Amino acid sequence: MSTAEERAAIEAGLDPARMPKHVAIIMDGNGRWATGKGLPRLAGHAQGYSVARRMVEVAAGFGVQVLTLYTFSSENWNRPQEEVEGIMRMIAQAARAELESMLEEGVRITVSGHLDEVPRDVREELQRDIDATRDNERIILNLALNYGGRTEILDAVRRIAALTARAELAPEEIDEELFGKFLYSPQLPDPDLLIRTAGELRVSNFLLWQIAYAEIWVTDVLWPDFSREDFVRAIADYQKRVRKFGKTEEQVL
């Protein structure tokens, strides 16, 4: 963490030494926000994109190392075609428009999910961003795109099963550490903090393996209204918690 990031955290009332390394966010409420204002649902997604862009800056400014955003789930293909096509256009446009600023701000882009199944223009724009930013080190922006937690686990199981069938891997060699290497983004640490907006109390098939010990923070604020102050509140609440990982409170304090 840089001196500027430490200063920003302290000024916000946060402890720089207890900043979560990885924050994951379920960005919920775009459609409800738009409907409540008498706007088409895509207007909510557009506003949600603006907030997501701002949160990358906020997280990086506090020294968060990884920010994973639930951008589009594998179940979201079931939404109305017009909405799905609009979201895909928005993702492609954002990937194209934000590349220069991502390079300037030291943001590395990664994607978790089946990128091969999204429209070609979206895939090409994102792959360009991934390639261009791979050496950036300030913060990793991981986009969970066409992502499903159960599918990720099944994909890992299939790959491991194929290795065991060819006698390239013995069953007794399979443990949590090895299994994690077969997930979509094994280079990323597990999330320390999971934020969900719009008040929903479920994890929606998001990072099911990785959030086993994540602290969960839920707010009624809809994603398009989510602010820097809300992010600070989430971090502050996280820093009040005792992360025991199965131990007693006395053992970890």
Range 123-126, long-range pairs (CB < 8 A, 24+ positions): 125/91, 125/92, 125/95, 125/96, 126/91, 126/92, 126/95
Catalytic residue among 15, 28, 192, 225: 28
Say whether 205 is catalytic. Answer: no
Catalytic residue list contains 136: no
DSSP output for 136-160: --SEEEEEEEEE-HHHHHHHHHHHH
**Region at 60 (left for phi over 0; alpha for psi -120 to 50; beta for the rest):** alpha
Buried b (16+ CB within 10 A) or exposed e, 117-135: ebeeebbebbeebbeebee
Contact 111, 143 (CB under 8 A): yes
Question: Which position among 76, 121, 190, 205 bears the catalytic label?
Answer: 76
Residue 165 structure tokens: 């069938």
Separation of alpha carbons 242 and 215, rounded Å: 10
What residues form DSSP beta bridges with 111? 143
Secondary structure element (H or E) that encloses residue 212, with its range: none
The separation between CA 58 and the C-alpha centre of its own chain, rounded to angstroms, equals 14
Catalytic residues: 28, 76
